[in-house]
Structure 1
């Protein structure tokens, strides 16, 4: 996977140097690039954002505007010509995007000679750390349903998400018990479900959070509950045990930085499930399972 990501970065540089390989919106054809590299857009975007710490779309935008800043400062080209060269349909759209990244519009930067904010080219490297073993198993799961109470919430990368906490707190205590009694398939018990996530995992983007349980596809669902249909497929099930939530947060990091880059599995579209198997009275320690939908990846990478 590390080789694939570095090839992606190289493709981005070549495409930006040649003029944006774009569709009508000015965006790079990430799906086409993913296919040519022997992977999927879903997995490529997720791994890039996890390892680079920024969404792929944001990285490309900043690299494009870094190149545009060079043109603004080192050439006498008309600003509209520079805008079009870098994938913008108008000088106004280019000016807004340029100012958002560099802090000033292109005309001012040209007159004053800067300053500008450059986005360095990213390079990926895999560091193998044997001190952090990843407890994972792969299981094939038939189609099932996730049922419970869902809400649209913003994605937050750090700390407790207050929107999710408020949603769960609004559910009556007796409803938690009713949901738990409905559970009749793996993963068992109450689940925290994240679905319909932005492919780039951009901060502030919306997702569906469902507090509920897994039931068989044929199980009758009581009225008043939200339902997410989950297709049959493979799942990577990661387990963590220790200080909470530190151990769980470390597990999330290890899946992206250690397991996926060195495995033959890749993420496929689908909900992400978190099950808390046990915890102490004060929630200072816990054993958790993280279920991620996966599929076999290509064994070789296309050129």
Structure 2
């Protein structure tokens, strides 16, 4: 079974179990990959998180059922996993623009999300430069901040690090970079994906074997295999599609949980916004393992 068939088998399982608890391990089994990789792939291929897709499908079926049958609102809510009527009403109104009760007494339009299917598309016109890197455990040392992501642009928590770092601190940080990967590292730990954003830890760091000075934070990165993608910043949205829609399905690898690392670019110290006047080449490191 190829990746397309595997992922559609997982989607079929979701569709047949929208009234039940959906077992993520069963999804991964059908998709022939780990839960983590399936969620990551789904997010980038569908432009929506798995959690949000399931929520939208359940609220779609709930609305159609309320519109076409006399069943009680509370019964529909419980059928689709909402054991609090208030929670069901809030979620329903966010998606459809009306409450379940208002739907019953008026002829309102509904926001319906049909079942999703992955289909083959022709791609690969743009070359992608990458290498596989097996790397022993190493440490990064740098400045860290907890980041709350936003939909567009640089996240404020990341910009805060860039803005608040002074020239002497930045120079000291660069001076202790004595092992690969060489250069300024932008390390994200625990970053979510798709439309379901969550806070994560960002490090402006370097790889080093030295003892971390007190002013910096230390992060140990375990031995891992990485795919290292040569790309440019500012990031183009199409690059994610290329990595997750073209490279992963044909590579024989899947992503594993762990930090992602962008090597470069240098930052401008103390400025409100980072302004790039031209594209800058960087490396993007993604932790991987051999697929099943």
TM-score (norm 2): 0.89
CA contact (8 A) 1:192 1:275 kept: yes
Q: Following TM superposition, by how much is the alpha carbon of 1:262 offset from its aligned partner in structure 2, in angstroms?
A: 2.1
C-alpha distance in 1, partners of 2:186/2:175?
Answer: 16
State the match for 1:235 in structure 2. 226
1:206 to 175, 199, 203: 199
Q: Following TM superposition, by how much is the alpha carbon of 1:283 offset from its aligned partner in structure 2, in angstroms?
A: 4.3
C-alpha distance in 2, partners of 1:166/1:278?
Answer: 15
C-alpha distance in 1, partners of 2:48/2:237?
Answer: 18
* Structure 1 residues 180-199: aligned runs within 5 Å: 180-198=174-192
State the match for 1:275 in structure 2. 263
Q: Following TM superposition, by how much is the alpha carbon of 1:12 offset from its aligned partner in structure 2, in angstroms?
A: 0.6
CA contact (8 A) 2:56 2:95 kept: yes
* Structure 1 residues 1-303: aligned runs within 5 Å: 1-16=3-18, 19-20=19-20, 22=21, 28-198=22-192, 200-202=193-195, 204-216=197-209, 219-241=210-232, 244-246=233-235, 249-276=237-264, 283-298=277-292
Where do 4+ consecutive residues of structure 1 move more than 4 Å? none
In the superposition, relative to structure 1, how do residues 173 and 278 fare at CA in structure 2: closer, same or farther (>3 Å)? closer
Secondary structure of residue in 2 paired with 1:160: coil
Gaps of 5+ in 2: 268-274
CA contact (8 A) 1:49 1:56 kept: yes
C-alpha distance in 2, partners of 1:160/1:90?
Answer: 36
CA contact (8 A) 2:124 2:242 kept: no
In the superposition, relative to structure 1, how do residues 185 and 251 fare at CA in structure 2: closer, same or farther (>3 Å)? farther
CA contact (8 A) 1:180 1:190 kept: yes
Q: Following TM superposition, by how much is the alpha carbon of 1:11 offset from its aligned partner in structure 2, in angstroms?
A: 0.9
C-alpha distance in 2, partners of 1:125/1:207?
Answer: 32
In the superposition, relative to structure 1, how do residues 156 and 91 fare at CA in structure 2: closer, same or farther (>3 Å)? closer
Gaps of 5+ in 1: 23-27, 299-303
**1:5-47 alpha-carbon deviations (Å, 9 max, x no partner):** 222211110111xx21x2xxxxx32234213432111111111
Q: Following TM superposition, by how much is the alpha carbon of 1:184 offset from its aligned partner in structure 2, in angstroms?
A: 2.4
**1:235-270 alpha-carbon deviations (Å, 9 max, x no partner):** 0000025xx415x65433321222112221111011
Q: Following TM superposition, by how much is the alpha carbon of 1:114 offset from its aligned partner in structure 2, in angstroms?
A: 2.6
Tell me the matched-pair count: 283
CA RMSD of aligned residues (A): 2.2
State the match for 1:301 in structure 2. none
CA contact (8 A) 1:138 1:234 kept: yes
Q: Following TM superposition, by how much is the alpha carbon of 1:48 offset from its aligned partner in structure 2, in angstroms?
A: 0.7
Secondary structure of residue in 2 paired with 1:48: helix
